[in-house]
Amino acid sequence: MTTPAWDERLALCDLMLDVGPDAPTLCGDWNVRDLAAHLVVRERRPDGAIGTLLGPLSGYGEKVREQTAEKGLVELVDRLRKGPPGWSPTRVDRVDRAVNTVEFFVHHEDVRRAQDTWTVRTLGADLEADLSTALRRGARLLARKAPAGVVLESPGREPLVANAGDPAVTATGPTGELVMFIYGRQAHSRAKLSGPNDSVAAMRTASFGI
């Protein structure tokens, strides 16, 4: 597999081993080992992964994740590096790009940006393109509960109205920064916000998501 999603997967695996199991992430209280367990469960334990989508099953899903985390970071990363199991449709490149590009990009940045020495990186053209496609596919769902309208603007691309509310806040920046913004990492995104001051302030702490 040679998709941008696969490249992000491998880069994240390397980084997690580099910073260690107890290093922080942007995922709340989760450390690197917790995040690695989440990714393994998402990919290999559908019974546990569904708990991240259905509230009534969240307790069971968290129990599965905690049990998985007990395996230790090295084993977890080894499983991630091997890719999805043979029965998974994400073994197909096209499906991998659609399902995993944002997942591994955002979590890669969750680890990178939680470290004191992180810097903005330049994304490859294929990754930029796949992230842009993902934004246009999912931004409206993610921003449907935003406290104001949301417009996403990236240089060289058509503006995307993620929420048609009025007044509106415009987030401007590279595609990767817009992805981090709309996936709830506003405090760690370098996207620039413009619009009415109160709407901008509300957007900085808004809860985006399904």
Q: What is the CATH number of the domain that holds 200?
A: 3.30.1050
Q: Which residues in the chain show pLDDT less than 50?
A: 54
Per residue in 29-69, pLDDT (tens digit) is 999 999 999 999 999 877 655 555 545 556 777 888 788 88
104 and 12 part of one domain: yes
| 137 in a structural domain | yes
Instruction: Look over the chain and give the mean of its residue pLDDT values, rounded to a whole number.
Output: 91
Question: Domain tally for the chain?
Answer: 2
**CA–CA separation, 156 and 127 (whole Å):** 15
| 75 in a structural domain | yes
Q: Mention every residue, 6+ apart, whose C-beta is less than 8 A from residue 58.
A: 51, 52
Q: What is the model's pLDDT at position 86?
A: 85
Single-letter amino acid, residue 72: G
- pTM for the full predicted model: 0.91
**CA–CA separation, 35 and 41 (whole Å):** 10
- Given a contact cutoff of 8 angstroms between Cβ atoms, the answer to whether 181 and 203 are in contact is no
Residue 10 domain boundaries: 4-112
Q: Which of 112, 141, 171 is the last residue of a domain?
A: 112
| 209 in a structural domain | no
34 and 131 part of one domain: no
